[in-house]
Each structure stands twice: as C-alpha cells, then as structure tokens.
A and B are shown apart, each in its own frame.
Chain A
Amino acid sequence: MDHSRASLSFHRRFRNAILGSLTFLFFGVAVAPLLLIVYVAWDRGKSVLDWNFISTLPTGFPVGSEGGILNGIAGSMILVVLASSLSVPVGIWAGMYLWQEGKNPAARAVRLLSDLLLGVPSVVWGIVGFYVFSTSTGYGLHWGFSALAGGLTLGFIMIPIVTRVTEQALRDVPISYIEGAFALGASRWQTLRGVALPGAMAGIGTGILLGILNVLGQTAPLVFTNYYNTGIPNSLVGSQGAVGDLAMQIFIYVHEPSKVMHVKAMAAALVLLAIVLVIDLGIRLLTWGSRKIASRVG
C-alpha cells in the first residue's frame, strides 16, 4: 500500500517496517529447525552412510558399532504392514460410517471420539497396548513383547487418522455424483462402491500415507509392546517375536555413551528422514490440488 506512505508519520512507517520484518524473522526461526536437523544429521552421519549400512545387520560390541541397520528397516516395514492391515480396513469402514450418517447425534459423538483418539498421547497408547497385547499376567492376549503386539498398537494409533481423512475425502466427492447414482436407481452400497469410493481414492490414499508417516516416527508405544531386536525374528508372536525398528534403534544408539554409536544414530536418522520425505512427497503428489486434508491431520 504505497499510496499514502508519504503522508504517514515516521512512527507509523517505522512500526510498519519493524512488524513486517519481524514476521519474516520469526518465520525464519520457524523453518530453520527443519533445515538444521537435516544438515546436522547429514554432517554427523554421512561418514558411515553407504549401501553396506542399509543392507547388513548390526554386529560388534556394543551391538551396532559395526554393521548396519537392516534389522531396523525390516522391522519398521513389518510394523507398518501390521499396523496398516488393522487400521486401513477399520479406518475406511468407520470413515464410510461417518460420511453416511453425517450430522446425526450418534455420528457426531463418534466423530468427536475419533478426533480425541487422534490426540491421545503415545505413552498412553503404549500402556493400552501393553495391557491388551503384551502383558503376561491378568487379562489380555499374552503375546509378549512382539511384533504383532507393537504393530497392532501402532494400528490403533493409525485408525483415527485413516477414519477422518476417509470421511473428508468422501465428502469432497461432489454431491451431484451421488445424486446422479441414486437417480439411476443405485442402492446405497452400489453408490458407495461405484461412485463415492473411486472418487475418494486419492484422498484415502493420502490418509493411509499420513498414518504410515505417523506410525514410522512412533517410538514410545514400542517401548511398551515390542522394544527391540538386533536380528530379524522368525515369528511375530511370543518371547522371540520382537522386531527391530528404525526409531527405536536411533533411541537406543543415542543412549549409548559412545561416539561411534552416535554417528550411527545420526546416519539411521538420515535414513528415517529420507523414508519420511519420500512418503511426504507421495502425499503431496496425491493431494496435488487439495492440500486441506494434509494440513488438518498432519
């Protein structure tokens, strides 16, 4: 707005300039950590990062001082697959329910609960996962510290994310499509399967990726339900069923009082960051036009 600048008092011009530059300054402070984190991880971790690091199991003493992080990468994949196999069907199911029921009181309540589940702290999920899956006394499934227990707990965390994004994606399908389907005599199931779901596919895919993104970074629930394994297990349940996990691996390596382990941790963080950024890119490709959903849940 230059039109009246000349007539403004010095005080007001000064304030205008100061506040404007302050917004820029604080904005820099806000994005600096992202660049700094990537830089620090690269700077400290690049010396051990090679193909060998990604493709071998950890060895040496303390375990991990030699070898790579294959156990973590494989374990994270196993956990993500287990978590998705619970949360994707259930989340889409619940999302379809919310879409279909819309504003009636029961659906409002379910929507509130689902949103509240989004905010449940990860240690609380850990407690729940422990008492439902891992505990060896009392009620519960007695699976021990195992991949299945960890994966399903992560699945619990993922359910509300998939639910809300599925509902939003279904709502973004133009109502005229739905009306058109009904006008042609389709039943509600046919409308949902033939019109609404195909139209919402990209959005639902975004939701699943957002969920996976969240699950990949979760460490706390795994402390309660899976912990860690330096190898790759044969089974998913029982006392031998724990898997490694990238996030958990970083946590354990950082805790070791050893320079080598810290370097390895930073390299593992770099690998985790790379996976996260690739998934993030996938989300962005899926929501080319509508960025609404990503900012809402992420």
Chain B
Amino acid sequence: MGFPGLRVLMAGFSASGQFLKGVRVKSEEMVSGVESGEPEKLLQRRGPLDKRAIGKESSIQSDRFFGWGLKGGGLFILALFSVVLLVCVVTAWPSIRKFGFSFLWSQAWNPSRGIFGGLAYLVGTFWVTGIALLISIPVAIFSALFLSDYAPKWMSGIVSTLMEMLAGIPSIVFGAFGITFMVPLLRDHLEPFLANTLGKRWDFFNGDALGYGVLAAGIVVGFMIVPLVATVTRDSLLMVPQEMVEASYALGATKAETLFFVKLKAVIPGIVGSVILGFGRAVGETMAVLLLVGNQASIPQTIQDVGYTISSLLANTFTYAVIDPLYAAAEVELGLILLLITLVVNTLGRELLMRLMGGRLAGSVGGG
C-alpha cells in the first residue's frame, strides 16, 4: 500500500491538534469490532509525541534507509528464485546442448554409453499424475460441496480441520502406508478384480497384478492432493453470491439442482484453478511415488504396470549420477522440465484463483 497517507497525516498533525483527535476517534470506531489487541496500548507504547518523528530531516532520512533496508527482503526472494533457475539450467546445459529436443521423445537411457532420452520418465510422471487427478477431482469436488452446503456447522468445522491435518501428513508416511496397506490390497483384490472384469473387454485393464505400479502410486498421490483441491474448491463455493442461490430456489429448484447446476457452474474457474494447483503438487510428489511406482524405466501399457517418474528417478539415482557430468546433466534436465511444468502450471492456477477471489465474486482474500 506504500502508505500514501503518511505525508498528509503528518502535515495535518503539525497544522492543528484537532486533526489528530479526529483520527483517533475514527480509529476507535473502526477498531471496536475487532477483538484482538487494544489500540490504546499499541499506540501508547511509542509515546504520544516522539520528538524524533515530527517531520525532522533526520527522521525522514532514517525512514528512507528503512525503506531501502526492507527492499533487501524482496531481493532475497528474487535471488533465491534466480539461484534455483540458474543452477538447473547451468548444470543441465551439457545435456540440453547434446540432445536438444530429441531428449523429449527418445526412450534410450544408457549411462554407460552416454545416451539419454527422458520419454519413459515423462510418460510415467503423467500416468501417475493423471490417475491421481482422476481419483481426486470427483472426490474433492463432492466433499467440497458436502462441506459447504450439506454438513451442519459444527461438523463442517471439525472435518475442515481433519482435511487440513490430512494435508499435513508427510509424503513419506503416505508412502509407508501405501507399501504396508495399499500394495497388498491392490495385489490381492483390486487389480485381479479389474483384470477379470474390465480387463476382459479392454487390454488397458488387463495387466499383471503386482501391487506396485502406476495405479498404486496414482491412488496414494490422489489421496494426498484431495485436501488441497477440496479446500480451494470449498473456499470458492463459499463465495458464490447468496442471491444466485436464492434465485434458483425461487424458481423451484431442489437443493441438489441448485448446487450442481447453479453453484457448481458459477465456480468452474475456481475448480479449474484448484485442479491446476493439485496437478502442480502431484507432478512433483517424490517419496510416496518412489516407494510405490515400481521404478522400472518402461512405458506403462496397462493400468497395473510399473513405471518410473522424474522425481523418483532423481531421488533414486542422482547421487550416483553426479560422477559423470553428462549423466548428471541429463538428470538435472529432467528436473528442469519438472520445474518448468510446475512454474507454468502454478502461474496459471494462481492467476485464475486470484481473478476469481479478488475480482467478480469479491472478498477479503488477497490470493495465494
């Protein structure tokens, strides 16, 4: 906000004491509705008339230094971002120069002969992310609807808390849970069932039931991003103007019709934004995927197949790869691709959500 009022306020203050009084009264009125903190105390702490601060040359000087000092914080963020990009581009450069775009569609990955192509890892990453999104989108949207409209108030508070706790569970715990619980479940029940039913018609579902594979990783990652997508969707659902809902009821629509045909339609940008954010989170997920995806550099043909993702490849082999500069460069290039995907995706999702929250539907949320 840059404190545009600073000079005006100070000018008014030195002109007459009345102005100060006016501001005080006003601030008390505005503050009375806010429960935290007492303005009296906060203001008195600085003393009513600090000699150093009344328009003296030195204080203006120090104020300027203060402004410059703060800029350092912004510069640090800028520097950190540049370091991230720079390190990735510089160390990936040998691979980028040698393989060019063929890196993206070549499947050859042979460290001993110095030939690298990342297709299998890219495809594996999108398999896992795709399955995760397919699972999490319906679950997240329906539970957001439940939270915003069906759940009684006390319940919605408790379960929102649960949802946010779910978001706080470390990836590695999800992975360990996946290994001890999901993998046996998939291997013994779900995957044979899929192969025996849908697999009879489509080869796509007719793979070997190994437990490990893109399906296991996708399901677990899907559960991991449900809280993110659900909370953002719920937040945008809560911002739909009440008039729209009332108009729908007035036309005789049932509750479900209002929710699904009016409210949900109004927040499509919010849902798209939250799904994009979820995609950005899922695509970089490492530890849970590393434990579950099977880590075999082949392109999955059926939903039960094993695969390999960019993030799990890096976590698995990077420390061996650094011995050979080209090998390391190829791995970092995969990391760079991952980074660029998340940067693009997060910029998009952020813009969408900020426009929704800060624009037409209005509200106090500054975006983020």
Residues of chain A touching chain B, judged by Cβ–Cβ distance below 8 Å, are 1, 4, 8, 12-13, 15-20, 22-27, 29-31, 33-34, 36-37, 40-41, 44, 90, 93-98, 100-104, 106-107, 109-110, 112-128, 130-132, 135, 156, 159-160, 163-164, 168, 171, 173-174, 176-190, 194-195, 198-199, 202, 213, 216-220, 223-224, 227, 247, 250-251, 254-255, 262, 265-266, 269, 272-273, 276-277, 279-280, 284, 289, 291-292, 294-298
Contact = CB atoms under 8 A, between A and B. Distances in A.
B257 A12 contact: yes
A298 B319 CA distance: 30
B166 A185 contact: no
A189 B50 CA distance: 13
Interface string B135-179: 000111011011101110000000111111111111111111101
B170 A276 contact: yes
A117 B176 contact: no
Contacts of A190: 46, 50, 53
- Looking at A8, A113, A159, A184, which has the most chain B CB atoms within 10 Å of its CB? A184
Given A1-B254, A113-B78, A34 B88 contact: no
A180 B169 contact: no
Nearest to B43: A180
In the complex, the 5 A-B pairs of residues with the closest C-beta atoms, listed nearest first: A121-B284, A217-B170, A26-B142, A93-B73, A94-B73
Contact of A119 (B45, B72, B76, B280): B280
B275 interface: no
A216 B172 CA distance: 10
Given A29-B139, A185-B50, A126 B314 contact: yes
Contact of A117 (B81, B171, B226): B81
Interface string B16-53: 00011001101100110011110100110110111011
A217 B314 contact: no
B339 A121 contact: yes
Given A31-B162, A115-B346, A100 B2 contact: yes
Contacts of A188: 3, 6, 63, 66-67
Contact of A13 (B43, B88, B165, B254): B254
Contacts of B286: 121-123, 219-220
Given A27-B159, A123-B338, A199-B42, 5 more contacts: A4-B252, A34-B162, A116-B81, A180-B27, A251-B291
